[in-house]
Amino acid sequence: MKTLFKTTLLCVAIFCFTTGYANNKKQNLTINTNQNISPTPNKQFIKVALLLDTSNSMDGLIDQAKAQLWEIVNELSYAKCGTAKPNLQIALYEYGNDRLNSEEGHIRQVLAFSDDLDEISKELFSLTTNGGNEYCGQVIQTSLNQLNWGTNPDDLKLIFIAGNEPFTQGKINYKDAATNAKEKDVTVNTIFCGDYNQGISTYWKDGADLTQGDYMAINHNKATVHIASPYDDLILQLNIKLNNTYVAYGQRGKEKRMIQAEQDMNASGYSKANAVSRTVSKSSHLYKNSTWDLVDAVEEEKVNIEDLKKETLPDILKNKSSEDIKAYILKMKEERKSIQQQIQDLNEKRRIYISEKQSANSNALENAMTKAIKTQAKKKKYTW
């Protein structure tokens, strides 16, 4: 009986050991398999939240923002983190406008973080001014609460708040908002629209200092300076060719293509130079349209050609085979890259020309933002 009992215990022990070993081996195989797959590296983002005062006196500020968006984007397109080029996301808030909900502090999220530059431009052009109460602390805190700032330590996370009333207004103390910004690794930069010393006395500088941000004062009513160059016409001609490489698909394809054309018109409505700046932005890696353009969608592996339904395709591709569609997309991709490179080459000459003609303080908002971004980017080891 004892022998039988011992034999039974031995069998159970062997079973448990072998079963455990097999399970561990299976788990180890799974782990090793996963380890053999290279983890996706952290993709760096430059995240910029623009908080713009849209009260009555801020028409000039809004005008500068509309006019200088593309130059700011172009400057950011040259940024690198190591050998990688970071992506750009921009969020937009308006505050201080009587038309906005008073219970929410006269604050509105116009656009959450987005890399859709056409959409950002469209929303900027939709802003209008009206008198109101400007609560700086509350709009900063609202943007911290609502936006997805992420946790990647390599991301450059910036708030730019612009206005001209005391920074202390409202029920949320700007110091508390600054403390919360630091916890999220977000730097607050303040742009006072008026006299430099007045901005200091009304705590705009203190609002920036608390997160080691930059304080700037600009003349928001100063007209944006546009400098024409000998290369402008050639770049604008290339823009027409560039637009022809976009292949709209899906439910919103036609609508988004119309928005693209509208933003071309909005830019040219300011000046030829501004239209050129937008064209240069469209030639950079920051201009992405994978939600409606098949060339970008295939490039970013957002769609599979074989899975596309005919009704979602443009007329030119509706009756084509998958192979014919792939060939057409590849052709458009190659044409686009060639055109974009031509634009970039011409823009290098344009930049040199403009730098020789431009004074240091010619475009207040653009200079203020790009200077602050470059200064703070150095802390994250970004280079230009």
Residue 191 or residue 357, greater confidence:
191
Mean per-residue pLDDT for 352-372?
75
- The pLDDT assigned to 363 comes to 56
* Band (380; pLDDT cuts 50, 70, 90): confident
| Of the candidate ranges 50-64, 182-196, 286-300, 338-352, the one whose mean pLDDT is the lowest | 50-64
* Band (357; pLDDT cuts 50, 70, 90): confident
In this predicted structure, the answer to whether residue 2 has a pLDDT above a threshold of 50 is no
Domains annotated on the chain, with CATH? 45-225+360-383 (3.40.50.410), 232-357 (no CATH)
In the three-class reduction of DSSP (H, G, I as helix; E, B as strand; rest coil), residue 359 is classed as coil
Token pair in block for residue 379: 């802390």
CB 51 within 8 A of CB 143: yes
- The pLDDT assigned to 43 comes to 83
Whole-structure pTM value: 0.83
In this predicted structure, the answer to whether residue 5 has a pLDDT above a threshold of 60 is no
In this predicted structure, the answer to whether residue 17 has a pLDDT above a threshold of 90 is no
In this predicted structure, the answer to whether residue 35 has a pLDDT above a threshold of 50 is no
In this predicted structure, the answer to whether residue 196 has a pLDDT above a threshold of 60 is yes
Mean per-residue pLDDT for 72-91?
91
Mean per-residue pLDDT for 294-310?
93
DSSP character at residue 284? S
The residue ranges of DSSP E strands in the chain, in sequence order, are 45-53, 80-81, 87-95, 107-114, 156-163, 186-193, 215-218, 382-383
* Band (362; pLDDT cuts 50, 70, 90): low
Mean per-residue pLDDT for 161-170?
94
Phi, psi for 317 (deg, rounded to 5): -115, 0
Phi, psi for 81 (deg, rounded to 5): -120, 100
| Of the candidate ranges 178-187, 223-232, 325-334, the one whose mean pLDDT is the lowest | 223-232
- The pLDDT assigned to 67 comes to 79
In this predicted structure, the answer to whether residue 263 has a pLDDT above a threshold of 90 is yes
- The pLDDT assigned to 364 comes to 65
Token pair in block for residue 167: 């920074």
| Of the candidate ranges 137-146, 207-216, 225-234, 285-294, the one whose mean pLDDT is the lowest | 225-234
- The pLDDT assigned to 167 comes to 97
Mean per-residue pLDDT for 154-166?
94
* Band (8; pLDDT cuts 50, 70, 90): very low
- The pLDDT assigned to 379 comes to 87
Mean per-residue pLDDT for 32-50?
62
Whole-angstrom CA distances from 23 to 13, 28, 225, 335 are: 15, 8, 70, 54
CA distance linking residue 263 with residue 18, whole number of Å: 68
CA distance linking residue 21 with residue 34, whole number of Å: 20
DSSP character at residue 83? T
CA distance linking residue 125 with residue 259, whole number of Å: 12
| Mean pLDDT over each residue of the chain, to the nearest integer | 86
Residue 384 CB: number of other CB atoms within 10 A? 13
Token pair in block for residue 383: 């280079």
Cα within 13 Å of Cα(6), Cβ side: 3
CA distance linking residue 112 with residue 160, whole number of Å: 15
CA distance linking residue 121 with residue 70, whole number of Å: 9
Mean per-residue pLDDT for 156-167?
95
